[in-house]
Amino acid sequence: MSVSDMGGGDLRELYQEVIFDHNRKPRNFHEMPDADHAADGHNPLCGDRLTVYLRIENGRIADVSFVGHGCAISTASASLMTEAVKGKPVEEVEALFRDVHAMLTDAPPEGRDFGKLQVLSGVREFPARVKCATLAWHTLHNALTGAGTAKTE
């Protein structure tokens, strides 16, 4: 049997306990009536949909939340994202978006400590699931830049 028969990913790397926890009890999961930025995200391939809400004060993300439905990976990714960006300067969040995207799709940038977000890195070994994990981040990026609906198909 060749290595490729084995596939790259270990299922336990993908579905870590933190992922299950955030899937069962997503953090910051609610609408935000006083949001000043928002965007919808949609993955037409699997039907996942979410909306990310932001309130920005003095160049910082004063509050962030999301609603929607999706698989465990996309829900946990969105939940972890809200925790990671709350209170951070917008510029820093944009840099984090780029680095997380790199971690999920290619290779993590050197020197970046992802903290809890590290649990998402297992997705890289499951190419079919990368879009699930990146949907919330693209939607956040669009909310910040006013770019409209994010699609990850």
Partner 1 sequence: MSVREHPATIAARAADFPILARPVRGKRLAYLDNAATTHKPDRVIEAEAAFYRESNANIHRGVHWLSQHATDLYEGARDRVRGFLNAARADEIVFTRGTTEAINLVAFGWGRANLKPGDEIVLTEMEHHSNIVPWQLVCEQTGAKIRVVPITDAGELRLDVYESLLGPRTKLVAIAHVSNSLGTINPVAPMIAKAHAAGALALVDGAQAVAHLPVDVRALGCDFYAFSGHKLYGPTGIGALYGRRELLSAMPPWQGGGDMILTVAFEGSTWAEPPARFEAGTPNIAGAVGLAAAIDYLSEVGLEAAAAHEDALLARATEEILKLPGIRLYGTAANKSGILSFTVAGIHPHDLGTILDSEGVAIRAGHHCAMPVMTRFGIPGTARASFALYNDERDVAALIAAIRKAQKLFGTEEAA
Please say which residue, 46 or 95, places its beta carbon nearer to partner 1.
46
Nearest CB to partner 1, comparing residues 70 and 96: 70
Contact flag: residue 127 with partner 1 (CB under 8 A): no
Which range, of 29-37, 54-62, 121-129, 145-153, touches partner 1 by CB under 8 A?
121-129
Task: Kindly provide the residue ranges of all beta strands, DSSP E only, lying in the chain, ordered along the sequence.
Answer: 37-43, 48-57, 60-69, 150-151
Q: Cα(66)–Cα(82) distance, rounded to whole angstroms?
A: 8
Helix then strand then coil, in percent of the chain rounded to 5, is 50, 20, 30
By CB under 8 A, residue 46 contacts partner 1: yes
Under rule CB under 8 A, residue 25 binds partner 1: no
Phi-psi group of 98: left, alpha or beta (phi > 0 → left; psi -120 to 50 → alpha; rest → beta):
alpha
Min. distance of Cβ 89 from partner 1 in angstroms?
34
Q: What are 150's strand-pairing partners?
A: 41
Residues that bind partner 1 (CB under 8 A): 1, 5-7, 11, 14-15, 20, 45-49, 69-73, 126, 128-129, 132
